[in-house]
Amino acid sequence: EPFEDGYANGEEGTPAGDAAATYTPDSKGIVKFGWIKGVLVRCMLNIWGVMLFIRLSWIVGQAGIGLSVVVIAMATVVTTITGLSTSAIATNGFVRGGGAYYLISRSLGPEFGGAIGLIFAFANAVAVAMYVVGFAETVVELLKENGTLMIDEMNDIRIIGAITVVILLGISVAGMEWEAKAQIVLLVILILAIGDFVIGTFIPLDSKKAKGFFGYKAEIFMENFGPDFREETFFSVFAIFFPAATGILAGANISGDLADPQSAIPKGTLLAILITTLVYMGIAVSVGSCVVRDATGNINNTIITELTNCTTAACKLNYDFSSCQTGCHYGLMNNFQALCKDNIYPGFQMFAKGYGKNNEPLRGYLLTFLIALGFILIAELNVIAPIISNFFLASYALINFSVFHASLAKSPDVNWGSSTQALTYLNALQHSIRLSGVEDHVKNFSFEFQYHGDCLDVAT
């Protein structure tokens, strides 16, 4: 098996790997998850959320049913390729703690792993803010309808967002076991909310017809099939939607807490992408087939999702309560903890310390909390989402490049270092062999090749 000692170079492990190695499935009190609870559920919760219930209908109203499906398909292509790349790395080596950072740094080398780890940790910290702001928007709408706003809409979003992120910090600090239990509850709420939507599309109440909801009609489908952009473009809509597809590494990022990460990561990640994509496309087509554009008279309500539900409360609160899955994003700080243990960036060593039986990165959680709180103060979902898209696209591009580079260097085949070192060795060998046919001459610098077992000596 390649990398039997868990490292690409066959040498002594880094601090991150050594720390992760101490936490084995047989260790007393250590929580280990299977592929369903550890990867599938976690990925689905991170992929679904605020965009599904607050912005997907808005995207259909802007881009139409046809282009909305294209937007979802484009995001799925990106995440599927990245999921396959992650699976390729996970199944070609011994996986320990440290998540995506560990996988990449032990394949391509610490220079690329460090860059990915830092970008990805920051992207997920900002993603916390996005989900919390989405949840806060829903609560503020309820307060506004009942005339109970505390100050004004913008400041109320900030206040409620700050309270929510404090609660999520508490859930994460409680430990991985409690977080996993909370995720099951949130997944049930999420599935019930989706079920509420599906049932509601078949029950067109007369009270909702005035707002544009008529149930499934071919005329509405044809009218909403084409785009009707309002100060938006195809790519700006894509930038706002893309964070809705970024949760695919949630399972890989807790690789140290998985019982069998080599099997769990590919199965859970790819199945989660398939399920969530089908749901996204199904809801986009359904809402575009049932609701007339601009029926409410509010230019911001091109198509509103809440009309398609059995109960308004289910859409307004239960839907976006699923956004409290943000606690999962705190778990992604395992990447950052492993990065700090490798001491790649000066001054980050303080965040490497773990606490409790599962080596929880509490200092990393606190850093995530502070970053998220800063972005929550923006209080604008459409401003935060494109920022996240840029960071996730950058990290996914580096992950895919690392797999391409490893494939080019054939690094998993032989235990000769990271793919960077392997490619350097291969290039030197190939060019040296090409020079072997040069005739000896006093003006030529010639090589002599000597093979000793599995080693190659090059002498002049």
pLDDT(130) > 90: no
The number of folded domains in the chain is 2
The pLDDT assigned to 373 comes to 92
Q: Minimum mean pLDDT among 153-162, 250-259, 410-419: which range?
A: 410-419
pLDDT digits (tens, 9 = 90+) for 407-459: 776 654 455 566 667 677 777 777 777 776 667 666 666 555 554 445 545 44
Q: How confident is the model at residue 12 (pLDDT cuts 50, 70, 90)?
A: very low
Closest CA to 303 of 276, 282, 321, 285: 285
Q: How confident is the model at residue 300 (pLDDT cuts 50, 70, 90)?
A: very low
Return the sign of the alpha-carbon dihedral for residues 210, 211, 212, 216: negative
Residue 282 has which token pair?
């199904």
C-beta separation of 403 from 156 below 8 A = no
The pLDDT assigned to 355 comes to 78
pLDDT(255) > 80: no
Q: Are residues 264 and 393 in the same domain?
A: yes
Q: Are residues 176 and 232 in the same domain?
A: yes
Q: Are residues 321 and 175 in the same domain?
A: yes
pLDDT(279) > 60: yes
Separation in Å, CA 70 to CA 54, 125, 207: 19, 28, 33
In a domain, 24, yes or no: no
pLDDT(108) > 70: no
Q: What is the C-alpha to C-alpha distance for residues 229 and 134, in angstroms, rounded to an integer?
A: 22
The pLDDT assigned to 442 comes to 61
The pLDDT assigned to 174 comes to 72
Q: How confident is the model at residue 184 (pLDDT cuts 50, 70, 90)?
A: confident
In a domain, 290, yes or no: yes
Q: Are residues 403 and 301 in the same domain?
A: yes
The pLDDT assigned to 49 comes to 73
Separation in Å, CA 215 to CA 48, 63, 204, 319: 24, 20, 5, 20
Q: Are residues 386 and 423 in the same domain?
A: no
In a domain, 16, yes or no: no
Separation in Å, CA 232 to CA 20, 71, 150, 285, 360: 46, 14, 32, 20, 42
pLDDT digits (tens, 9 = 90+) for 315-341: 444 444 444 444 444 445 666 777 788
- Average pLDDT of the chain is 75
Mean pLDDT of 382-397: 87
pLDDT(119) > 60: yes
The pLDDT assigned to 89 comes to 79
Vertex 273, ends 268 and 279: CA angle to 5°? 125
pLDDT digits (tens, 9 = 90+) for 93-103: 666 666 667 77
Separation in Å, CA 386 to CA 126, 382, 389, 433: 11, 7, 5, 49
Closest CA to 435 of 423, 448, 422, 451: 448
The pLDDT assigned to 189 comes to 79
CB hemisphere CA count around 369 (13 angstroms):
18
Closest CA to 129 of 431, 372, 439: 372
The pLDDT assigned to 420 comes to 67
Separation in Å, CA 320 to CA 101, 178, 190, 314, 384: 30, 21, 9, 9, 17
Q: Are residues 106 and 53 in the same domain?
A: yes
pLDDT(170) > 70: yes
Q: Minimum mean pLDDT among 249-263, 270-284, 319-333: which range?
A: 319-333
Q: How confident is the model at residue 357 (pLDDT cuts 50, 70, 90)?
A: confident
Q: Which residues have CB under 8 Å from 319's CB, separation 6+?
A: 52, 53, 54, 138, 193, 305
Q: Are residues 429 and 297 in the same domain?
A: no
In a domain, 25, yes or no: no
In a domain, 3, yes or no: no
Q: Are residues 101 and 130 in the same domain?
A: yes
In a domain, 331, yes or no: yes
Rounded percentage of the chain residues whose pLDDT exceeds 90: 13
The pLDDT assigned to 98 comes to 60
pLDDT(266) > 80: yes
Closest CA to 34 of 369, 225, 265, 336: 265
**CATH at 394:** 1.20.1740.10
Q: What is the C-alpha to C-alpha distance for residues 143 and 133, in angstroms, rounded to an integer?
A: 15
Q: Are residues 276 and 398 in the same domain?
A: yes
Domain residues for the domain of 349 are: 30-409
Q: How confident is the model at residue 288 (pLDDT cuts 50, 70, 90)?
A: confident
The pLDDT assigned to 453 comes to 47
Q: What is the C-alpha to C-alpha distance for residues 63 and 295, in angstroms, rounded to an integer?
A: 17
> Which residue matches tokens 């995530």?
368
Q: Are residues 291 and 424 in the same domain?
A: no
C-beta separation of 333 from 121 below 8 A = yes
The pLDDT assigned to 310 comes to 45
Q: Minimum mean pLDDT among 192-206, 285-299, 416-430: which range?
A: 416-430
The torsion of the CA quartet 418, 421, 427, 433, rounded to 10 degrees, works out to: -100
The pLDDT assigned to 346 comes to 82
Residue 448 has which token pair?
């002599």
In a domain, 206, yes or no: yes
C-beta separation of 140 from 151 below 8 A = no
Residue 359 has which token pair?
């080596």
Q: How confident is the model at residue 186 (pLDDT cuts 50, 70, 90)?
A: confident
Label residue 40 exposed, middle or buried (CB < 10 Å: 0-12, 13-18, 19+): buried
Amino acid of residue 301: N
The pLDDT assigned to 68 comes to 93
> Where does 201-307 have alpha helices with state H?
206-209, 218-225, 234-241, 261-290
Which of 409, 429, 447 is the endpoint of a domain?
409
pLDDT(2) > 50: no
Q: What is the C-alpha to C-alpha distance for residues 39 and 24, in angstroms, rounded to an integer?
A: 18
DSSP state, residue 253: G
Better pLDDT: 134 or 417: 134
In a domain, 114, yes or no: yes
pLDDT(23) > 80: no
* DSSP output for 132-186: HHHHHHHHHHHHHHTT--SS-HHHHHHHHHHHHHHHHHHHHHT-HHHHHHHHHHH
Q: How confident is the model at residue 196 (pLDDT cuts 50, 70, 90)?
A: confident
Q: Are residues 445 and 305 in the same domain?
A: no
Q: How confident is the model at residue 234 (pLDDT cuts 50, 70, 90)?
A: very high
The pLDDT assigned to 444 comes to 63
Closest CA to 180 of 30, 41, 340, 14: 41
Q: What is the C-alpha to C-alpha distance for residues 48 and 187, in angstroms, rounded to an integer?
A: 10
The pLDDT assigned to 69 comes to 94
Taking each continuous run of H as one helix and of E as one strand, the counts in the chain are: 20, 2
pLDDT digits (tens, 9 = 90+) for 39-87: 888 888 888 877 787 788 888 888 899 999 999 999 999 999 999 988 8
Q: Are residues 310 and 424 in the same domain?
A: no
